[in-house]
Amino acid sequence: MKLYSTLDKDIVEIQPVKTGQVSMYSCGPTVYYRMQIGNIRAYVNWDILHRALMYLGYEVKRVMNITDVGHMTSEDDFGSDFGEDKLDIQSQKEGVQPIDIANKYIDTVIEDFRALNILAPNGELLPVGLTHLDIQKYGFPRATEYIQEMIEIIKKIEGNGYTYETDQALYFDVTKVDDYNIFTGQALEEKEVGVREEVEVDPEKKHPADFVLWMKKVGKYEKHLMNWDSPWGVGFPGWHIECTAMSVALLGESFDIHTGGIDHIPVHHTNERAQNIGAFGHPAVKYWIHNEWVVNKDDSKISKSKGTKTYLPNLVGMGFDPMDIRYYLLSINYRTKIQFSHEALEGARNARIAITRRITELGSENGNLLPEFVLKFKDSLEDNLNMSKAVAILNELLRSNNQKGDILATVLDFDRVLGLDLDKVSVKEEGIEDGRLEELLSLREKAKIAKDYQESDRLRDEMYSLGFIVKDTPEGQKVERI
């Protein structure tokens, strides 16, 4: 498989550390609020990569972290060391402890992943009823569960001479890493020129790009709500050390792929790589793979604070099925910027419904895979995840004159990567007893009132399997035949 490597600045052939096995770490959500369409785009992209690697015959070992402490709000050029902790802020807004905020929004992440058919990092389907209590065994490590591992790695970095301590924090000295800015090519002197005066909170900080490994519970963080003992005093870890600790603890000191958004390149991933060198004497990651943003019409990045209308429940409430959203996001290459619009999402819905209609026409007879189409599909995946080509091959297959059973078998084989639940599209009855449809609608309305969203989604999916799309409107549930 070939992917675009940010480190190599080119599309390269992926050559795993261990033949036939791919180890992958994905930067996961900071759980202080719901995910918006930009967050969702990344997780759909990396789910497709995960599925594609398995489809191509690799054994995949993957983890995705949960950031539940230490991610700061400010977005300056030097790592957001002295912003406000996002979970602390949200906990004050909602009047509960930060850990309760984390648990609440972990559960919404799991709900959204399940609705979008995103596999757990361990490759399994997320089971109904899974909550924050059991996520670690599915490949979701939580930062707050790896504090001791962070402390041990920081001690290694310190022992190797890459740190210095002030009254406020323990810092990583970036001048000790010769190729610190290998991702951007920017000289440290250029960063220093661009620094904003108000960013320099700690007068003892040596270089503006130096970043926090451990923040002490002093000064503006004297009342920080989540704190642990450490050799440098009571405090909490820097954001960057969290990913280093979790990735190495679960994947080892040398692993294949680290994924994330392009916004992670100049600071977060630059600092992760520096930490690996400081702790182990070598980079831990072989290939850094990054996805582009979802943007507004003015080309600005959609963010959680500005993207509330793009939360999954809101989009579903507008009448879009989660599979419409998945189709929309997977059909565009991960390195291509997506300008979000409801018109584009409607186009994706129409395209997906056209696919399901054709599958319905195929019937349910058994068949064999069509090798020529499977080969072309694999070639598209290996070509830097060329998903627009993969979708084109799917549509070419559906229009072909092959035996219906063979077409269906090959379509369902492709869906191992696409994840569009095409195996749930069955032959629809021309009619359905009005009483049954009304019964399902009534049960779903009761589930929504009770805020039993899992049951509500199950009932929606049942009606979908019977040939009906249910839309939530201000006037109530509206039903349309597919």
399, pLDDT greater than 50 = yes
Identity of residue 27 = C
By the 10 Å C-beta count (0-12 exposed, 13-18 middle, 19+ buried), 156 is classed as middle
User: What are the tens digits of pLDDT across the range 76-112?
Assistant: 444 457 778 889 889 989 999 999 999 999 999 999 9
Per-residue pLDDT tens digits for 148-207: 999 999 999 999 999 999 999 999 999 999 999 999 998 887 765 434 443 447 999 999
User: 121: helix, coil or strand?
Assistant: coil
CB 91: neighbour CB atoms within 10 A? Answer: 20
pLDDT for the residue numbered 46: 98
If you ran DSSP here, which 8-state letter would residue 417 be given?
Answer: H
Return the HEC string of 373-388. HHHHHHHHHHECCCHH
Contact 469, 319 (CB under 8 A): yes
Q: How far is Cα 469 from Cα 356, in angstroms, rounded to an integer? A: 12
| Adjacent-strand bridge partners of 26 | 64, 259
C-alpha to C-alpha distance for 460 and 471, rounded to whole angstroms? 9
Query: What are the structural domain ranges in the chain?
Result: 2-291, 430-482
State how far the Cα of 288 lies from the Cα of 259, in Å rounded to an integer.
Answer: 6
What token pair was written down for 390? 């993969």
Structure tokens at 378: 């694999």
- Mean pLDDT score of the chain: 90
Per-range mean pLDDT, top range of 74-88, 319-333, 460-474: 319-333
Which CATH class name applies to 2-291? alpha beta
Q: DSSP string of 176-200?
A: G-TTTTTTT---HHHHHHH--GGG-
Global pTM reads 0.87
Residue 48 pLDDT greater than 50, yes or no: yes
Is the pLDDT at 427 greater than 50? The verdict is no
Q: Which of 213, 292, 250 is nearest to 137 (CA)?
A: 250
